[in-house]
Structure 1
Amino acid sequence: MRQRIVTGGAFEVRTSTGTVGGGDLPAESGAAHQEVAELRRYVEDLEVVQRHCEQCFPLPAELSPTDRIALRLARLLVDGQCVISPFLPRLSFTLTGEDSPGLRALLSEEQQSVRCSTEEFAVTLAGRRLRLGPVLIFHPRVATEQEDGQRALAALDAGRGDGCKVTVRPVDGERFRMLLQNAATSAEQAPVPLGLPGFPEPG
């Protein structure tokens, strides 16, 4: 209805007895058209995510910028796309004590590719938790924070690596990438842009 109104043009008011009035609506500005287009994207994103999660609730009257980004990210994941998450500048994990050349290379600040999976990924909108399913989180070039790497290597050398916490970051200030495992067609997909006007794309 809002989309039709901003377009402008003639209209009639009808009741069960027939036409009782009418007039002409002026076409609204380009900004109004942009607002309607953004509202339509919002509604479409929410509908797709709700259907995937088998939840249905009224359209929230307001959505914070963070929630809007999270909703768009969820929509793209459900569509099987690879996305860069602006919410994942780093990952922390705990060593099991097992040693390997690959782990030592990572702890020595050499750039390595990293992949991990979570059994459940969810976003919260309007007070509701929408569970999307298992996701793969990865990046082709990460490095360990220097102090973490040195401490973890020393612990491994001493045979006390079990329980040691390590934080890794993608290089060049980038963010981790995500794929919804049940929807993705390939683990080698290139990330797609969020495509939200007014919001910067994550690196």
Structure 2
Amino acid sequence: MIETLQQELVDISALKAGVVWREKGKKSAKYLKAIHKNRTAQQYMSGIQVPSSNSDNPPTVSDDTDQMKTSAHQFYQHLYDAEPVWDDAIKDYLDDIQLTKTLDSNDAATLVKPFTINELIDQASRLTKQSSPGADGLSYPYLAILFQIPMLERLVTDLYNQALDGVFPTLWQDIRVRLLPKKGDLSLLKNWLRNSRDKATN
């Protein structure tokens, strides 16, 4: 039992670091920790440019948390504002879509058939190991480990089957953005790559 738990902890640490490193059958916790620490440091934002209260003055770099949050909110609010779309253009677009293929009643029923734990484990095992970590720092492959814990089987199947009825955990209804540094002045938000975590992930 202890050996199994130790192995699971090693696997989780490897997934958190984003790499799996093995040499002569041994696991290097020190290496994994160093990689995780290095990646965390790379994503640290020490300060960003905030607009001056006087429009004639250039922006200044601020490390004040509240100012950084406000400036980031304004930047991304403007970036993601929906562009105006004409209703007639939407109608013309939809009128050109022809749905020639539909599901029969039997095929439709399979889409809402309750999930089994084996189906969830199988699909989790197929997920790419290159996925971005979620809010908990864990990437998709961790799910395959989690789903195989017997005491969690009922919880896992209930969670995913409730989703068929439109009942989702609060975390699934969040959209989180992880900023990854690019080349250039990192006090400018445009020099941070946006890595979105959409709803219903992890």
TM-score, length-scaled by structure 2: 0.24
TM-score, length-scaled by structure 1: 0.24
Q: Which is greater in Rg?
A: 1
Higher helix share: 2
Q: Highest relative contact order (Cα 8 Å, sep 6+), 1 or 2?
A: 1
Higher strand share: 1
